[in-house]
Structure formats: structure tokens, C-alpha cells
Structure 1
Amino acid sequence: MNGEGDTYLSIGELARRTGLTVKAVRAYSDRGIVPPAGRTPAGYRHYGPEAVARLRLVRTLRALGLGLPTIREALDRDTPPAELAAAHAEALAVQIRVLTARRALLLAAARRDATPEEMELMHRLAALSEDERRALTREFLDEVLGGPETGTGLAGVARSMTPDLSDHPAEEETEAWIELAELCQDPGFRAAMRRTVAHHAADGTEHADGVPRPHPEAVIRDHTAPARAAGIDPGSPQAGPVVDAVTAAYAQQCGRPDDAALRQRLLARLDTVNDPRRERYLHLLAVVNRWPAPDPLSPELDWFCAALRARTTS
């Protein structure tokens, strides 16, 4: 009864053909995964030839991590192995996303020596659903930008500042999202962003024909970068033309004379804009959204503010 061409196979022969132990075959048989075709007159189980293919599939699915209840249900329903593999792959993808988020959370907590309270907040932020993440950032942007009903014309700014975490984020993207969400909850950062927006709105953002004007920060970058590259000290006379060019452009934008009051106004704006948390937000946003890393603006603003302050207070 145990030859290659026999109709029925003993449990030992079935184990030999499938590479399993007799104990494993007996356990699968007891669970009904590979039921015996019958018993010999002596009471020993015997199996049909189809049990070989069935057990080989069971062995493969177990190696892939499927549980026995799932395997039995699939075999009883005659689920195609490809369909079963696809379903299990999706389940593994969910587990991977959860584990990736947990690992990113633990690494972030370890790097910053997080307190239990910070750990709790980070865990809550990492576990948010997509809808909850969107609601959190929407509430933050509505507060700092004034919301869609204020007519401030900042809808484009809101879109450019909205994080969109992938369904399959890399570890560094998950970690960046956690830190970005923490920033969104920071009252001090929110207040600083509101002040920035207030300066932006007070200075005017568009021409009469609706064409956007360049922000002073962009003008500063264009003029300051060459001066810094040339090694010009912000307190030196050579920095004067750079300051004059920027303040003249700013005065034209505001429709005001380039005088001491305007320069004080520009300094107040730049001191608000030049908040390291704002630059950090933009960096984290680029990581989450898989955008190119933005060039840091703080070196240009630091240089220009020093140059402007030297000429405003003297």
C-alpha cells in the first residue's frame, strides 16, 4: 500500500513524499486539513494521492506565514493559491506599515530622549488614520492662514504646505510626519506662523492685475547669495548696495517710501519669518511629500538682517 503507484498512502509514506514529519502529518490530519481517505483493517489511516499535493501546498503556505485556520478555510473553499497569496501579501503589507510606524516612533523617541508624555503624544500621532491626519493639518492651516472664508488669497499657500503621507511610507517619512504633526500642535509655532501671515497680508501679495509679487525673502536670496559667496561682511560698506536694492523692492511692493520706518517694518517681518521651526516644517514637509529638499533660507536672512540692522540702528 505504500508503493509509488498505489491508490492509498500510509501516513509514513505521505510524510516521506512531502518532506514533513509523521508527527506534522498527523497534526494536520487531526485538524482536518488533510483528512484521511479511510483506515486499514488494522485501524491505521491511509490517504489518497491528492493528499500529497494538498500537504505540499500547506507546507508552502505555512512557510509564508499563514495560520492553520486560514489555510484550512482556503483549502475547504478550494481557494486558488494565487488568490490566497495575494490576500496574505496585502495582510503582510498592513503589518509592515504598522511595524514601520512603530520602529520610526521608537527611533524618534530614542534620539530625542522622549519623556513618557512625549512618547504618548508621538504614539497617538503615528497611529492617526489618513482622514485624521488630514483633519489635523487642515485645522492647523485654517488657524494660521485664516481659513478659506477670510479672503486672504492664501489657498495656494495652504496647498503647498499640506503634507500627504504615502500609503506605504518609508521609515524616514513616518518619522518626519510625527515631528511635523508635533509642530502643528505647538502653540508657539502657530502664533509665529500667524504673525508671518499677518505681515504677508499687510504688505500685499498681488499686483492690481492679479500677478503675484515676489516675496521679500525671494528678493533677499537673489541679492544676498552673491554677497555671501563673495565673503562680504554684513557690517561692511560693500553690504550697503545689497540692503538698498532689497529695501527699494520692498518699498515698491508696499507702496511706501524707503525710509527708516519701512526698514523697521521689514526687520520685524524678517525676524518673524526667520523662525527655525518654519524652516524645519518645510524640510519635514519635503520628506513626507517626497519633494526635493528645500534650500535653507536662514543663512541669507541672518546675513541680510545683520546688514539691515547695522544700517537701521546706526
Structure 2
Amino acid sequence: MDGDTLYSIGELARRTGLAVKTIRFYSDRGIVVPADRTDAGYRRYAPDAVARLALVRTLRELGLGLDMIRRVVDQELSLGEVAAEHAAALDVQIGVLRLRRAVLSVAAEREPTQEEMELMHQLATLSAAERRRLIDGFLDAVFEGLHRGGGPQHAAARRSMTPELPDSPTDEQVRAWVELAELSLDPDFRASVRRLTEEHAAGLPDGAPTPPRPDIVAVVRDLAGPALADGISPESPEADPVVAALTAHCALAPDRPDDAEPHQWLLHRLEAASDPRRDHYLRLLALINDWPPPERLAPVIDWSVTALRIRSAR
């Protein structure tokens, strides 16, 4: 077909698959300009209008606005420049959609009140600085006053409980952040972690706190964990040697007061540590920070508490 051929708007519609109304709209906006008009005023388009409209359709499907499309087809902007700008805009939109999805996913599980829904939305849209202030408030409530002058141990303890949401988080990380932030704002959870940290810090020479996973819990994990894994019931006689080993270890614990009976002291410490929300916090923390999943300690703590209570009542 030679360069003198002109297309009617109907022929252009057949060649491009676009509706006549759509082509007329683009033409009125100056994106596809007629090369000529008939004596009766009908528009006629040059052959390059076919390629031009194909580009327009592609850019529209990618979400570009008409003004930017006009600048592209008029070669005021290169396709590379437009693609980079539009990709950056899409990154922002994707981030917003992830936040919305996280809030809606949590809401779908809980059926929250209007106030709870608003809180979840606010938590999801905090800036990095605002997230840091929120977590600092939680960690201050847990650790403040339990150390003397700070120091590496105190700093390490705070780091071990600090979530760091990456710049480009996954959907799961965003959702975990919303849940963790909610948990950190719970006054009862703050008080529970504070009590646990106070008890563990009380026996340390410098008063420096450690994360709320005290050494005694690690001992319980090592001694009672195998019994739990083997299916031994805490009520059964087979659990007696485990309880005896736990009590013997606690008798030598440096942070146990001299007047505290080992069996009761251990029971008290484990009851304080049995809050399942602590495991949940640590699981969310690991997900946000991309750490290996932490070991769940609640089952072995519950097993030990039951075993200790039964033998206290005998």
C-alpha cells in the first residue's frame, strides 16, 4: 500500500480493533490527528495511524494517562523514560495495596470493631520513623530501669526484640507487622513481658536485662522437651525424674532467692513465662526480620507447669 493511501475512521477501526467512538475520542484529544478531511468533513488518517493507535492501546492497558500517552506518541518523552516513571508509580500503588490487603486479611479473621479496624489501618500506614517510635515505646516499657548505664547486653536485648520491616516487604511481612504492632500496644502484654524481664534481671550482677526468654526456660526446654516429644504425660510416674531434674537445677540457679523453695520458685517462674503471646511475638518478629522461625516454647512450658502443679498438690 503506497504512502498516499488514507483510511476512513471505519477502516482504521477494522485494522486496529478499536471502536470508532474510541478512535474519535483519541482524535479529538490530539493523540491521533487526521491527515486530511473529505469535502463532507469526514476524517482521513495516514497509514502510520495504525501503529500509533496500537501504541496508544498498549500504553492505556498499562495504565498511563492520556497526557503522558500524547507526549510519548509525539516523541516528547521516550518509552524508556515513561516506563521508568510508571514503574515507580506502580511500586507505590503495590505498596498501598499490600497494606490494604494485610489490614483486610487480619480483619477477615477477627471481625474487628470499627475502632480496631481504624487502628489496624493506622498501624499499616506508619512511616519508618513512626514504626521505630512505636517499637521504642514498647521496648522502653519492657526494659527501662532494669539496667545500669546500658551496655552491650542491654543493646543486644533490645535488638533481639526489634522488628525491622524491609523497604520492600512481602505481603506476609506487612501482615506480621500489623499484628506485632497491635500486640506491642497491648498494656497487658507489655506488663506480662515486663514482669518476666524483671524477674530474670533481678539475679544478674549488673541488673542488665535480657530478652524475655530466660535461661530457666531454656533449661526446661532441654530437660522436659524430650519427655514431651516422647508422649510422656505430665501426670504419669515417668514424668517424676524430669521434675526432679528441673527442681535440682533450680536449687542451684543464681537468681533464685535463698528463701525461695526451688519447686515453688520454678513453678512461679514458668507460670510467668507461659503467656502464649510471647511465642506469637517472637514468631512475628522472625517473619518480619527474615530470621529462622523460633522454636515454640509454650507446649514444653505448659507440660512442665502441669507436672509441677500436680506434684505440689500431693
TM-score bin, normalised by smaller chain: 0.7 to 0.9
Counterpart amino acid of residue 65 in structure 2: G
What is the CA-CA distance between 1:51 and the residue it aligns to? 3.5
Residues 206-242 of structure 1 deviation map (CA, whole Å, 9 limit, x = unaligned): 9xxxxxxx81111111110122234444345543432
The AA in structure 2 aligned to 1:5 is D
* Cα 1:255/1:274, change in 2 over 3 Å: closer
2:110 corresponds in structure 1 to 112
Query: Which residue number corresponds to residue 189 of structure 2?
Result: 189
Aligned residue number for residue 292 of structure 1: 292
Aligned to 1:35: 33
Is the contact between residue 204 and residue 255 of structure 2 (CA under 8 Å) also seen in structure 1? no
Partners of 1:121 and 1:169 in 2: CA distance:
20
Which amino acid in 2 is paired with 1:288?
Answer: I
Q: 1:134 maps to what in 2? A: 132
Matched-pair contact (CA < 8 Å) for 2:7–2:46: no
* Aligned partners of 1:126 and 1:178 also within 8 Å: yes
Q: Residue 98 of structure 2 corresponds to which residue in structure 1?
A: 100
Tell me if 1:10 matches 2:26. no
- Please list the CA deviations of residues 245-264 of structure 1 after superposition, one character each: whole Å capped at 9, or x if unmatched: 33444444416688753443
Distance 1:166 1:11, change over 3 A: farther
CA 1:229–1:19 in 2, change beyond 3 Å: closer, same or farther? closer
Q: In the alignment, which residue of structure 1 is the partner of 2:243? A: 243
Moved more, 28-37 or 187-196: 28-37
CA distance in 2 between partners of 1:174 and 1:202 (Å): 36
- TM-score w.r.t. the length of structure 1 is 0.83
8 Å CA contact 1:204, 1:253 repeated in 2: no
Query: Comparing 86-95 with 106-115, which one deviates more in the overlay?
Result: 86-95
Name the amino acid aligned to 2:156. Answer: G
Give the corresponding residue for 1:276.
276
Distance (whole Å) between structure 2 residues aligned to residue 304 and residue 233 of structure 1: 10
Q: Kindly indicate whether the alpha-carbon contact (under 8 Å) linking 2:195 and 2:272 is maintained by their aligned counterparts in 1.
A: yes
- Between stretches 256-265 and 99-108, larger displacement belongs to 256-265
Aligned match of 2:210 = none
Does the 8 Å contact 2:202/2:255 carry over to 1? Answer: no
Give the structure 2 partner of residue 151 of structure 1: 150
* Structure 2 counterpart of 1:10, one-letter code: Y
Q: Report how many aligned residue pairs link the two structures.
A: 305
- Structure 2 stretches of 5 or more lacking a match? 207-213
SS in 2 for 1:154: helix
Q: Does residue 68 of structure 1 match 2:66?
A: yes
Q: What amino acid does structure 1 have at the position aligned with 2:187? A: P
Is residue 163 of structure 2 the alignment partner of residue 163 of structure 1?
A: yes
Tell me which residue corresponds to 2:209. Answer: none
Q: Which amino acid aligns with 2:61?
A: A
Per-residue deviation, 1:283: 1.9
Amino acid at match of 2:86: H
Structure 2 residue matching 1:166: 3-state secondary structure: coil
* Shift in alpha-carbon separation, 1:205–1:253, aligned structure 2, 3 A: farther
Q: What letter matches 2:167 in structure 1?
A: D
| CA apart distance, 1:149 | 7.3
Is this contact kept in 2: 1:220–1:301, CA < 8 A?
yes
| Distance in 1 (alpha carbons) for counterparts of 2:296 and 2:205 | 22
Name which of 51, 65, 68 aligns with 2:49. 51
TM-align CA RMSD: 3.0
The 8 Å contact of residues 9 and 48 in structure 1, kept in 2 or not, is answered as: yes
Aligned 8 A contact 1:38 1:47 in 2 = yes
Q: Which amino acid aligns with 1:134?
A: R
- Contact (CA 8 Å) 1:203, 1:253: kept in 2 or not? no
| Structure 1: runs of 5+ lacking an equivalent | 207-213
CA contact (8 A) 1:37 1:48 kept: yes
Paired residue type of 2:272: T
How far did 1:16 drift? 4.2
Q: What corresponds to 2:211 in structure 1?
A: none
Sequence identity percentage: 55
Deviation at 1:35, TM superposition (A): 2.8
* Counterpart residue number, 1:211: none
Counterpart residue identity of residue 90, structure 2: L
Could you state the TM-score of these two structures normalised by the residue count of structure 2?
A: 0.83
**Conserved in 1, the CA contact under 8 Å of 2:15 and 2:50?**
yes
Contact 1:10 1:47 in 2 (8 A): yes
